[in-house]
Chain A
Amino acid sequence: MSPILRRTGLALLGPVLAIVVALVISAGVIALIGENPLTALEVMLDLGDTPSQQTQSIVVILNRAVPLFLAGLAVSIAFRMGLFNIGVEGQYRLAAILAAAVGGAVALPGPLHVLVIVAVAVVVGAVWAGIVGVLKVTRGVSEVISSIMLNFIALGLASYLLTGPLRGSEEGASIVTTTPIPESGWFPGLNGLLTGLGLAEPRSQLYGFLLVAVVVGIAVAVLLKRTRFGFDLRASGLSPSAASASGVDARRMVLKTMLLSGAVAGLIGMPDLLGSTHVYGTQFTGGLGFLGIAVALLGRNSPVGIALAALLFAFLDRAALPLQFADIPSSVVTIIQGTIVLAVVIANEVARRLTLRSAERAGARPVAPGGGSAGATGRGNPPPSDDGPPDTTGDRTGVRQEVQR
């Protein structure tokens, strides 16, 4: 087994274990209420009878996955640095309403209009998250506390703006919304692409914002993996003291990370806003910021993992409806999602310990004179626990391969 394969195998172990555990528990619950778990699985996997229904199901899944992916990404950027940004919820809601209001108030030619709306969302999200960063570096306020508190303020503020100055719907209408964004501010759908691929025309439009999400995902991956900034960020996350000893300005990093996390969070509401609703209203999808935490956990903070996690959550969400038609309570989906999150936390810990142990075992083999004693100290003083899956050096993995053979 190549070292890379082995490492990805270990990285996948946690999430896969979690999903298996969640499925077993959910199957148990389904059996308890007197239904066949296999029937339930069959229903969940069945995308529809006609080609058009099947494409529609795929569109529904993708359209749901896009905001979930962005939410997971926003949370993960802060996670990487060891910051827990629980404020994504407030950041995207506030960003969405202000972006919707600006979009509804201005009239600009096509792409520029969309660009302005997205820019407003990004700036608002970044500023709102930036408050958390400023509070942390200047006053030492825990980002967990301040971001939770700012959620309440953001939701209250959004609600005040919606019912007050930014109200665009008629007085007395049941659903309160902002002024609709004119058509020049809509993001074109991708159904042409689907039919071009030979798929049947679905009922709804596939969000064009999917492409933006992919680009943002790649950009974040490159930024974190291939740039100085990304290195500093990850280093600060792994060991703040080591990072600052090697010259990373921790305070600046906190601020920058929160700004970046908030900027991505600002995008979460955009797929819905630009692709289907064209207004921010009392029915605007909420809770995505919190789901993002679960998605980021499941995706182990890597953009590819988050994309897969978002797709899984979106798939489960869609399954809620066919399950109801099969007379199986749709809360099965909530149970699966809940147990996945719970299991992923436990499984990540188990996987981490396994990796740690296998790395230690590899390190304990005498490599060079003195290697044995190094291994012994390694065992005597376990490495700092926040090290995560250690990046074993090339020669160490080489040794491990030999051991396996």
Chain B
Amino acid sequence: MTKAAALLLAGSLALAACASDEEGGDTATGNGGASGDLKIGLAYDEAGRGDKSFNDSAYAGAEAAIDEFGGEVQEVSPNEDGSNRAELLSNLAEQGYNPVIAVGFAYDEVLGEVAPQFPDTVFAQVDGSNADGAKGDNVTGLVFAEEEGSFLAGVAAALKSETGQVGFVGGVESPLIEKFQAGFEAGARAAKPDIVINSQYISPAGDFSGFSDPAKGQIVAQSMFDAGADIVYHAAGGSGTGVFQAAAASGGRAIGVDSDQYQTVEDPALQAVIMTSMLKRVDNAVQAFISDYVDGNVEGATDVLNDLSTEGVGLSDSGGFITDIKGDLDQYRQQIVDGEIEVPTSL
């Protein structure tokens, strides 16, 4: 239900966007050529637009770039089983969209196949590395140091926990989400060495339902709260709502992920439990990449790393729940930026 509603909403937003694009398109037809309008292709990850997280953040970045440079954005989402990803990218490239931005690591394999077929198109992949150039010379990886942001989330959880027990809920068991877990656990232990950490995943590798199953998220988080945890951090995409619900039901607290979920969650009862969110500024990364593209500064076959030092990741302070430990957090942050603390990326 909510998914359908979200899709309808996303659809109507796209329609609205389209209406305004047409005007822009008309004025631009005269220009053509190199100075022509920016045509950004945006291929989303499974959940698509309206996830209030990852994909929406990428769109916000493209939107901001358009505000700056003009042009239009064409959004496409894969079908439910993600089997048409290669088609999404090829069609965008074929229809002249440039740059084409793939959102999510799930595009790893297909990008390596599609990008070499369209050497004149500039590709970028959010959450996918192309430091070795294996995906082609025209692909740039936009990667994030999730472990660094998660480290701070771990510090915040440990310092704020009254029971000495915290939890981590991962969406799908995968190397990417394990980065969140590794950082969170390292941060919690750094702040409080005797902290008890309970980490669990909603679905096993290969089963992507864990990113869009709030009911299961709630069950997993509830078991943590019942076992004595009072703060749970989630890296579970759309399932996070369930984690918030479990926190609200148990009088506990939760830490959101990707975007400032205190702002996006809407339900005031859930808002009250969101202590902070681990921000992953996909919007900034996308906007910066497009701006680089416009300036002709995209090299390809490289990665752009977004970490604490570039404010690509960080903690939100909406609601003012963590203002009292801001000093501690800033200290850890500085130590990570200075390289005094090496945050692990895997367990």
Q: Which residues of A contact B (CB under 8 A)?
A: 33-35, 53, 60, 64, 155-156, 158-160, 162-163, 171-176, 203-204, 272, 277, 281-288, 317-318, 320-321, 324-325, 327-331, 333-334
Q: How far is the CA of A331 from the CA of B176 in the complex (A)?
A: 28
B15 within 8 Å of A (CB atoms): yes
B81-89, B238-246, B275-283, B308-316 - interface stretch: B81-89
What sequence of 0s and 1s flags, for each residue 185-222 of chain B, a beta carbon within 8 Å of any chain A beta carbon?
00000000000000000001111100000000000000
Q: How far is the CA of A175 from the CA of B109 in the complex (A)?
A: 8
Question: Whose C-beta in chain B lies nearest to the C-beta of A164?
Answer: B205
B12 within 8 Å of A (CB atoms): yes
Contact B175 A329 (CB under 8 A): no
**A residues within 8 A CB of B18?**
327
B25-33, B72-80, B157-165, B266-274 - interface stretch: B72-80
Q: Of residues 75 to 112 in B, which have CB atoms within 8 Å of A's CB atoms?
A: 75-77, 79-84, 86-88, 90-91, 94-95, 105-106, 108-109
**B residues within 8 A CB of A286?**
81, 206-207
B3-11, B62-70, B323-331 - interface stretch: B3-11
Q: How far is the CA of A162 from the CA of B7 in the complex (A)?
A: 32
Q: How far is the CA of A218 from the CA of B206 in the complex (A)?
A: 33
Total residue contacts A-B, CB cutoff 8 A: 112
Q: How far is the CA of A334 from the CA of B204 in the complex (A)?
A: 26
B335 within 8 Å of A (CB atoms): no
Contact B204 A285 (CB under 8 A): no
**A residues within 8 A CB of B14?**
327, 329
Of A155, A203, A285, the contact of B83 (CB 8 Å cutoff): A285
**A residues within 8 A CB of B176?**
174
Q: Return B304 CB to nearest CB of chain A, in Å.
A: 17
B173 within 8 Å of A (CB atoms): yes
Given A283-B109, A325-B74, A160–B87 Cβ distance below 8 Å?
no
Q: Return A181 CB to nearest CB of chain B, in Å.
A: 15
**B residues within 8 A CB of A281?**
109, 206
Closest 6 CB pairs of A and B: A329-B11, A159-B204, A174-B105, A331-B7, A282-B206, A327-B18
Q: Of residues 1 to 46 in B, which have CB atoms within 8 Å of A's CB atoms?
A: 4, 7-8, 10-12, 14-15, 18
Contact B83 A64 (CB under 8 A): yes
Of B11, B86, B91, B206, the contact of A176 (CB 8 Å cutoff): B206
* 22 A–B contacts, CB within 8 A, in A order: A34-B12, A35-B15, A155-B206, A155-B207, A156-B204, A159-B205, A159-B207, A163-B205, A171-B346, A174-B127, A174-B175, A175-B109, A176-B175, A176-B205, A281-B206, A283-B82, A286-B81, A288-B81, A321-B76, A324-B77, A330-B79, A331-B11
List 13 other contacts, CB 8 Å, given A159-B207, A172-B345, A325-B74. A33-B15, A35-B15, A159-B205, A171-B346, A174-B127, A203-B117, A282-B206, A283-B109, A287-B80, A321-B91, A327-B18, A329-B8, A329-B11
Of B86, B105, B106, B204, the contact of A160 (CB 8 Å cutoff): B204
Q: How far is the CA of A272 from the CA of B74 in the complex (A)?
A: 28
Q: Of residues 294 to 347 in B, which have CB atoms within 8 Å of A's CB atoms?
A: 345-346
Q: Return A36 CB to nearest CB of chain B, in Å.
A: 12
**B residues within 8 A CB of A285?**
81-83
Question: Whose C-beta in chain B lies nearest to the C-beta of A174?
Answer: B105
Q: How far is the CA of A35 from the CA of B207 in the complex (A)?
A: 35
Question: Whose C-beta in chain B lies nearest to the C-beta of A280?
Answer: B206
B223 within 8 Å of A (CB atoms): no
Q: How far is the CA of A281 from the CA of B204 in the complex (A)?
A: 13
**A residues within 8 A CB of B80?**
287, 334
Q: How far is the CA of A329 from the CA of B117 in the complex (A)?
A: 28
Q: How far is the CA of A176 from the CA of B105 in the complex (A)?
A: 11
What sequence of 0s and 1s flags, for each residue 102-138 of chain B, a beta carbon within 8 Å of any chain A beta carbon?
0001101100000001000000000110000000000
**B residues within 8 A CB of A203?**
90, 117
Contact A328 B11 (CB under 8 A): yes
Contact A321 B87 (CB under 8 A): yes
B250 within 8 Å of A (CB atoms): no
Q: How far is the CA of A296 from the CA of B346 in the complex (A)?
A: 44
Q: Return A379 CB to nearest CB of chain B, in Å.
A: 45
Contact A283 B106 (CB under 8 A): yes
Q: How far is the CA of A272 from the CA of B109 in the complex (A)?
A: 14
Q: Return A376 CB to nearest CB of chain B, in Å.
A: 51
Contact B12 A33 (CB under 8 A): yes
Q: Return A65 CB to nearest CB of chain B, in Å.
A: 12
Contact A175 B15 (CB under 8 A): no
Given A283-B82, A320-B84, A33–B11 Cβ distance below 8 Å?
yes
**B residues within 8 A CB of A334?**
80
Contact B206 A284 (CB under 8 A): yes
Given A163-B173, A174-B128, A176-B174, A321–B84 Cβ distance below 8 Å?
yes
**B residues within 8 A CB of A272?**
83
Q: Return B44 CB to nearest CB of chain A, in Å.
A: 10
Q: How far is the CA of A94 from the CA of B90 in the complex (A)?
A: 31
Of B86, B106, B346, the contact of A175 (CB 8 Å cutoff): B106
Question: Whose C-beta in chain A lies nearest to the C-beta of B10?
Answer: A329
Of B11, B90, B128, chain A has the most CB atoms within 10 Å of the CB of B11
Of B7, B82, B109, the contact of A329 (CB 8 Å cutoff): B7
Q: Return B307 CB to nearest CB of chain A, in Å.
A: 17
Contact B206 A174 (CB under 8 A): no
Contact A175 B77 (CB under 8 A): no
Q: Return A382 CB to nearest CB of chain B, in Å.
A: 39
Question: Whose C-beta in chain B lies nearest to the C-beta of A63?
Answer: B83
Of A172, A327, A330, the contact of B15 (CB 8 Å cutoff): A327
Question: Whose C-beta in chain A lies nearest to the C-beta of B95?
Answer: A325
Q: Return A279 CB to nearest CB of chain B, in Å.
A: 9
**B residues within 8 A CB of A287?**
80-81
**A residues within 8 A CB of B90?**
203
Given A327-B15, A331-B4, A172–B205 Cβ distance below 8 Å?
no
**B residues within 8 A CB of A155?**
204, 206-207
**A residues within 8 A CB of B204?**
155-156, 159-160, 163
Contact B8 A33 (CB under 8 A): yes
Contact B11 A159 (CB under 8 A): no
Contact A325 B76 (CB under 8 A): yes
**A residues within 8 A CB of B8?**
33, 329, 331
Q: Of residues 152 to 190 in B, which have CB atoms within 8 Å of A's CB atoms?
A: 173-176
Of A34, A162, A317, A327, the contact of B206 (CB 8 Å cutoff): A162
**A residues within 8 A CB of B105?**
174-175
**B residues within 8 A CB of A174?**
105, 108, 127-128, 174-176
Contact A330 B175 (CB under 8 A): no
Q: Return A248 CB to nearest CB of chain B, in Å.
A: 39
Q: Return B40 CB to nearest CB of chain A, in Å.
A: 14
Q: How far is the CA of A317 from the CA of B77 in the complex (A)?
A: 12
